Amino acid sequence: MTPNSQPRQHSVGQDRVRVDGPLKVTGTAPYAYEQRVENPAYLFALTSDIAKGEVSRIDASAALALPGVLAVLTHENAPRLVPAVKELYILQSPKVWYRNQYVGAVVAETPEIARYAASLVRVDYREEAHDAEFRVEHPEKYRPAFVNGFMRTDTKKGDVEAALSGAEVVLDEVYTTPQENHNPMEAHSMIALWDREALGGAFSLLGERPHLTVYDSTQGASVTRALLASVLGKLPGQVEIISPYVGGAFGSKGYPHAPLLLVTLAAQLVAGRPVKYMLTRQEMFAHVGYRPETHQHIRLGAGRDGTLRAIAHEVTETTGKLREYAEQTASATRVMYAAENRLTSHRLVPLDIGVGTFMRAPGEFPGMFGLETAMDELAEKLGMDPIELRVLNEPDQDPEDDKPFSTRNLVACLREGANIFGWENRPAVAERQEGEWQIGYGVAAATYPNQSQAATPTWARVRYEGGLYVVGIAASDLGTGAWTILGQIAADALDVDVEQVRMDIGSSDLPFATLAGGSTGTFTWGGAVSVACIQFRDKYGKHPPEGAEMRGRHQMPKDANKFSRHAFGAHFAEVAVSRVTGEIRVRRLLGVYAAGRIINPRTANSQLIGGMTMGLSGALHEESVVDPRFGHVVNHSLADYHIAAHADVPDIQARWLEEFDPYYGPQGAKGIGEIGVVGLPAAIGNAIYNATGKRLRGLPFTPDKLL
């Protein structure tokens, strides 16, 4: 180092502007539907008018006679599929599982022709009696084999009933959350093109084979290719998924849904032409999953000093009959608080409705609303400060499996948040008023587990080209900042400036990557990138030859499974409630998190306040109303399904503690995409109680519940 030179500044931990930002704000980042293809055709879907039964007749003659119509796809002419995934096994029979299920599609020269032609297709049905009403005591309620994330369905430790019977203070209440639907800015969209590719090498004499290219709005190009190929009966190499930019997802784009198969089958009927399909906002409520409705029976038993003796969290929730989806609603309760006697369970009510799927913080979001509201109620019964009740019951190790925590800084989050928020100024219940407005403070804890996806190998590749280190991995950027932070990780591993790194992501032809879900992207993809880059640097040094290349695989740290691995946080809310109208205004939100090492403070802040905003949206607005008479969501548009707007969030702040967790991987980063949403509705609900003295135990908190 020369006397005037400066050591290279590390990229990880630096506040860096998103590298994809200029493209997005100028409208030049191509999303799936905007990809340039030659001579596209357009699809409009045909959906069922009944909730259960079968199609008895389809008359497409009028549609086919319309100029510009290229094909009408139905179960009568659909290419055959492999029954690998029931949700994707579409148009293989006349059976109807739920209202608005796909029964066909029209492909035409323009979107307008396709839509009009679809109105000319006559579909008759043999209707059967259906059941779309959620009832806790449903006669067909059952115990699933496991819940989402392959977590245990039930857990039990000690004797809960005896402990509750002997407890000095008992809380016994029911908490409910409604069905919610995903509404990312970019609706699900895709372009499918079938063509032929020549076989190479030793197989060249065999000629050509079918090849499918899909531009898809997906959270995981590698996973989508694997599942799509299996259902189509093709080899993975015959399918290419391209998805460099995704306009939000929140879980709905994690695994392929029926729309992807619909456009893929339709494209086979017009082989050689790309077929474009973007769901309408109404279709989003029928075809891409939802967060199931839950009923949560929570019982807490404690001594007069606040020490918990028993925790029971028993959940009943909905699932569609076509494919089971069991949300892990009680899973967070298993790690939050110390108690010798513990019980959690999950039961499903099968209904003639569509297929549920994960939605940001599946399980933890509804479950922590129930638990953290219950903890506030218990604190009120005990006459204790709700923060002190949580601190008193902080466990020394995982209460369920007795493993030590890799890191656990929940108490520090609560203390730091209380100091920043001004918790000492919290009024007594229904004490503070400003004109017609009643003012209250609330708090709730947050947690999110480490879902390593270790069973699925994630790889990255680094290649030196034209003076740049090109790092390739089939990761997806949903607006989370992957384009930016993976480059920062690569730069530090290579010991070069970040400007010397170019990321290549969003294609299934790149090294296999797990999907962007479960807050796993940064430490999983980052781990693979780090390994590949370190091995590259070790082999080629500071002056690699042109074309030098290295691949590396992410692996969980040694002994990681010996620890209970979770991120933690605390939410604080100040609300004002009108005594005249019942209107709820959230004045302030604060989140303090212990989520491992923060790779990029700018993108981290965006993720956390985005999660908090979504939590507020679920608290005050979001509810999908299923009409049991017909089996569909009646408020299936953004005019009726309300989500939070800027005016709902006047003051929102996210802070984090310095933390490094070596058992998450070389970056020490835990993942922040979901913890921001977990527990926040409980903080708002607890603030409403502090303001008004009225306890709300069901989401959303609408004015009618306060009048």
- Pure H helices in 495-638: 521-540, 601-620
Q: Are 239 and 507 in contact (CB under 8 A)?
A: no
Considering the domain architecture, whether residues 440 and 483 belong to the same structural domain is answered as no
Give the tens place of pLDDT for each residue, 512-552: 999 998 888 888 999 999 999 999 999 999 999 999 999 99
Give the tens place of pLDDT for each residue, 672-697: 999 999 999 999 999 999 999 999 99
- Beta strand residue intervals within 238-378, DSSP E: 239-242, 275-278, 294-302, 308-320, 341-351
User: At 5, is the pLDDT very low, low, confident or very high (cuts 50, 70, 90)?
Assistant: very low
Give the tens place of pLDDT for each residue, 159-168: 999 999 999 9
133 is an active site residue: no
Residue with tokens 């948040």: 417
CA dist 505 and 516 (Å) reads 12
User: Looking at residue 491, which CATH number applies to its domain?
Assistant: 3.30.365.10
The predicted pLDDT at position 646 comes to 87
Considering the domain architecture, whether residues 538 and 526 belong to the same structural domain is answered as yes
Considering the domain architecture, whether residues 516 and 586 belong to the same structural domain is answered as no
Considering the domain architecture, whether residues 153 and 295 belong to the same structural domain is answered as yes
Decide which of 527, 555, 583 is a domain's last residue. 555
Q: And the tokens for 381?
A: 């019964």
**Helix axis angle, 680-692 to 364-382, nearest 10°:** 30
CA dist 627 and 133 (Å) reads 8
DSSP code per residue over 598-614: -S-HHHHHHHHHHHHHH
Decide which of 519, 536, 555 is a domain's last residue. 555
Q: Which of 178, 630, 620, 133 is nearest to 350 (CA)?
A: 133
108 three-class SS? strand
* More confident of the two residues 649 and 145: 145
Decide which of 493, 526, 555 is a domain's last residue. 555
Considering the domain architecture, whether residues 294 and 349 belong to the same structural domain is answered as yes
Q: Which of 611, 640, 30 is nearest to 284 (CA)?
A: 640
Considering the domain architecture, whether residues 367 and 446 belong to the same structural domain is answered as yes
- Is 74 within the bounds of a domain? no
- Is 312 within the bounds of a domain? yes
- Is 644 within the bounds of a domain? yes
CA angle (76 as vertex; 210, 60 as ends), nearest 5: 110
User: At 456, is the pLDDT very low, low, confident or very high (cuts 50, 70, 90)?
Assistant: confident
- Domain range holding 531? 21-30+453-555
Q: Are 682 and 372 in contact (CB under 8 A)?
A: yes
192 three-class SS? strand
The predicted pLDDT at position 601 comes to 96
Considering the domain architecture, whether residues 304 and 443 belong to the same structural domain is answered as yes
- Is 116 within the bounds of a domain? no
Q: Which of 359, 343, 367, 523 is nearest to 445 (CA)?
A: 367
- Is 5 within the bounds of a domain? no
Considering the domain architecture, whether residues 298 and 381 belong to the same structural domain is answered as yes
User: At 44, is the pLDDT very low, low, confident or very high (cuts 50, 70, 90)?
Assistant: very high
Considering the domain architecture, whether residues 349 and 438 belong to the same structural domain is answered as yes
Considering the domain architecture, whether residues 447 and 491 belong to the same structural domain is answered as no
- Is 187 within the bounds of a domain? no
Query: In the chain, pLDDT over 70 holds for what percent of residues?
Result: 97
For the segment 257-286, the average pLDDT, to the nearest whole number, is 96
The predicted pLDDT at position 2 comes to 39
CA dist 587 and 616 (Å) reads 11
pTM of the model: 0.96
Give the chain's domain count.
Answer: 2
The predicted pLDDT at position 512 comes to 96
Give the tens place of pLDDT for each residue, 14-41: 999 999 999 999 999 999 999 999 999 9
- Is 220 within the bounds of a domain? no
The predicted pLDDT at position 206 comes to 61
Q: Does 7 score more than 90 pLDDT? A: no
- Is 279 within the bounds of a domain? no
The overall average pLDDT reported for the chain is 95
Considering the domain architecture, whether residues 440 and 500 belong to the same structural domain is answered as no
CA dist 152 and 293 (Å) reads 20
Looking at 186, 416, 622, 674, which residue is catalytic? 674
User: At 204, is the pLDDT very low, low, confident or very high (cuts 50, 70, 90)?
Assistant: low
Considering the domain architecture, whether residues 443 and 586 belong to the same structural domain is answered as yes
